Amino acid sequence: TEKRSIFELIGGQEKVDELVDAFYHLVSKHPDLTPIFPDDLTETVRKQKQFLTQFLGGPLLYNEEHGHPKLRMRHLPFEITPSRKDAWLSCMDQALVKVKMEEPYHTIVLERLTRTAHHMMNTPENEK
Ligand code: HEM
């Protein structure tokens, strides 16, 4: 029997879209994050919906349109300090609550994103 992906288990595209919308709503109000994000998050939201879909085991929507994610490289233009990493994860934690993500999925999703977020840091705190 096929093992179902996290993507399917949490409720598929509808749930991922809801999560990403809730997440960027919080990002757009977070003082540590607004300086590095564009004012218009429309395209950012669209790409993140594609990326998180495949990150959680759903269809490879991001790769189909943009090729290999090369996430660390794509984040190099932005100063990602430890505090910005924490802010990003805090917004994601709150977004997971907002969309009523059930356990164990809240914890599983946040843990996977925490590991990826660590790789995005590229600037020490005092150089911010
Ligand atoms: C793009 C910040 C972590 C996935 C971006 C952008 C910023 C950013 C400023 C550019 C937005 C734009 O110009 O549209 C951060 C910060 C993080 C973080 C501060 C804290 C650690 C992550 C993580 C993931 C991720 C953990 C994946 C799980 C993406 C994707 C894009 C993106 C897919 C779009 C890339 C593209 O342009 O194709 N991020 N990010 N980010 N981020 Fe992050």
Given phi > 0 = left and psi -120 to 50 = alpha, else beta, which region is 3?
Answer: beta
Average pLDDT of the chain to the nearest whole number? 96
What's residue 1's pLDDT? 63
The pLDDT of 68-82, averaged and rounded, is 98
110 lines ligand 1 (CB under 6 A): no
Are the C-beta atoms of residues 81 and 118 closer than 8 Å to each other? no
Model ipTM value: 0.96
The pLDDT of 6-30, averaged and rounded, is 98
Domains and CATH numbers, the chain: 6-127 (1.10.490.10)
Whether residue 127 is predicted with pLDDT greater than 70 in this model: the reply is no
> What is the distance between the alpha carbons of residues 125 and 79, in angstroms, rounded to a whole number?
9
Ligand 1 centroid – CA 70 distance (Å): 11
Task: Return the structure tokens found at 114.
Answer: 């925490």
Provide the pLDDT confidence category of residue 126 given band limits of 50, 70 and 90: confident
Closest residue by Cα to atom 12, ligand 1, is: 44
- Which CA distances in Å does 22 have to 19, 25, 29, 37, 117? 5, 5, 11, 16, 18
Instruction: Record the pTM.
Output: 0.96
Task: Return the structure tokens found at 67.
Answer: 């090729």
Provide the pLDDT confidence category of residue 2 given band limits of 50, 70 and 90: confident
User: What single-letter DSSP state applies at residue 112?
Assistant: H
The pLDDT of 67-75, averaged and rounded, is 97
Ligand 1 centroid – CA 75 distance (Å): 6
* % of the chain surpassing 90 pLDDT: 95
